[in-house]
């Protein structure tokens, strides 16, 4: 009985200490890991959010780029960190959902090793074709692809990323066979698309919309579930002929698993408030980032659904884990 009382007091003491730490959070600098190189949309979101959180908390938020292994190097660092809210990561569709099925060995479990805070935004994809391709709509594209199996080539910025998976999902839902050609980045893919070396791409909207507006490419549809505020006149793939199609290159904020709920809740509240500030929304929108937020529980459910969704697509496409 005495031992049980001592153990109970110890547990109560630990709980009290945790509660106090959460209430006083943060009392020192926070490290925000961006598991990709500088300059991309995830880096931009991390730096905007880091600067604003620093102002809110009156503590420095240090943004660190830890690129490599399709986001796994930076995310592993956070997954193994102390669950105290002082190390966070910017998770993405690839690093948090696609990698679980694409790679044989992933050094973390996306659903077990992280405490989701909130989605932060989407980078929309745009289905664009070279002007020589005789299609004006998704229905036209399906008809041409069905009549010429293996003749249409779609470019992406690399195997396993959102543009690649969008093409594979299109193949599966439309029951056609377009051939994937991966590039080492979106820039080279866009150059070959504009020169007619490839037929089409589900490219990121920031990189493709200017060329569509100039007439160098033809925009057919938006890849997400809703039309884009940046180009509301362009229909979605789903409404333009392929129901059920929805591919969005998302990103969000996560902490290590078992981070106290009070810390997660505060990070969630402040992040959502910051991202809905007019100047922040406008700055992100100019870079093709659409703000999207949710609760920690909703974000956790979303990640699980994305892992299942893309796992099915990867297996059906016969993509080999690397």
Q: What is the pLDDT of residue 198?
A: 97
Q: Label residue 236 by pLDDT band (50, 70, 90).
A: very high
Domains of the chain (ranges plus CATH)? 2-122+248-317 (3.40.190.150), 125-222 (3.40.190.10)
Of 145, 208, 154, whose CA–CA distance to 181 is shortest?
154
Question: What mean pLDDT is predicted for residues 97-114?
Answer: 94
Average pLDDT along the chain: 91
Q: What is the pLDDT of residue 184?
A: 77
Give the integer Cα–Cα distance in Å for 229 and 31. Answer: 33
Q: What is the pLDDT of residue 234?
A: 95
Sole residue written with tokens 């630990």 = 14
Higher model confidence: residue 161 or residue 115?
115
Higher model confidence: residue 78 or residue 229?
78
Q: What is the pLDDT of residue 321?
A: 60
Q: What is the pLDDT of residue 1?
A: 46
Question: What mean pLDDT is predicted for residues 148-161?
Answer: 90
Tokens of 137: 């709509």
Question: What mean pLDDT is predicted for residues 263-292?
Answer: 93
Q: Which long-range contacts (CB under 8 A, 24 or more apart) does 61-64 make?
A: 61/29, 61/30, 61/31, 61/32, 62/29, 62/30, 62/31, 62/32, 63/32, 63/34, 64/31, 64/32, 64/33, 64/34
Question: What mean pLDDT is predicted for residues 2-9?
Answer: 58
Q: List strand residue ranges (DSSP E) for the chain, in order.
A: 30-34, 61-65, 87-92, 114-123, 125-129, 153-156, 179-182, 200-204, 218-222, 249-256, 289-291
Tokens of 21: 């730490």
Higher model confidence: residue 8 or residue 306?
306
Q: Label residue 21 by pLDDT band (50, 70, 90).
A: low
Max distance between CA atoms of the chain, in angstroms, equals 83
Q: Label residue 4 by pLDDT band (50, 70, 90).
A: low
Q: What is the pLDDT of residue 11?
A: 56
Question: What mean pLDDT is predicted for residues 103-111?
Answer: 94
* pLDDT above 90: residue 256: yes
């Amino acid at each position: 009985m005495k031992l049980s009382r001592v153990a109970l007091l110890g547990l109560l003491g630990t709980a009290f200490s945790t509660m106090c730490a959460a209430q006083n959070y943060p009392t020192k600098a926070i490290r925000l890991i961006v598991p990709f190189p500088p300059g991309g949309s995830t880096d931009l979101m991390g730096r905007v959010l880091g600067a604003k959180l620093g102002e809110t908390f009156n503590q420095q938020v240090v943004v660190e780029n830890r690129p490599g292994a399709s986001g796994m190097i930076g995310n592993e660092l956070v997954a193994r960190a102390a669950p105290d809210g002082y190390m966070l990561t910017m998770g993405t569709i690839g690093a948090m959902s696609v990698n679980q099925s694409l790679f044989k060995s992933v050094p973390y479990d996306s659903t077990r090793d992280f405490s989701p805070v909130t989605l932060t935004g989407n980078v929309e994809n745009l289905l664009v074709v070279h002007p020589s391709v005789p299609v004006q709509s998704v229905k036209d594209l399906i008809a041409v692809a069905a009549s010429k199996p293996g003749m249409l080539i779609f470019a992406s910025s690399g195997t396993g990323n959102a543009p690649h998976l969008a093409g594979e999902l299109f193949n599966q839902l439309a029951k056609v066979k377009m051939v994937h050609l991966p590039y080492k980045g979106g820039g080279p893919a866009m150059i070959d698309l504009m020169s007619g070396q490839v037929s089409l791409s589900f490219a990121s909207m920031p990189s493709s919309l200017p060329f569509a507006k100039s007439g160098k490419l033809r925009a057919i549809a938006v890849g997400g579930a809703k039309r884009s505020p940046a180009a509301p006149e362009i229909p979605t793939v789903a409404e333009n002929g392929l129901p059920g199609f929805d591919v969005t290159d998302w990103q969000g904020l996560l902490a290590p698993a078992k981070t106290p709920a009070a810390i997660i809740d505060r990070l969630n509240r402040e992040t959502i408030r910051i991202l809905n500030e007019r100047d922040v929304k406008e700055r992100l929108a100019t870079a093709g980032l659409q703000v999207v937020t949710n609760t920690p529980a909703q974000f956790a459910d979303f990640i699980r659904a994305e892992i299942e969704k893309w796992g099915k697509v990867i297996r059906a496409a016969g993509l080999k884990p690397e």
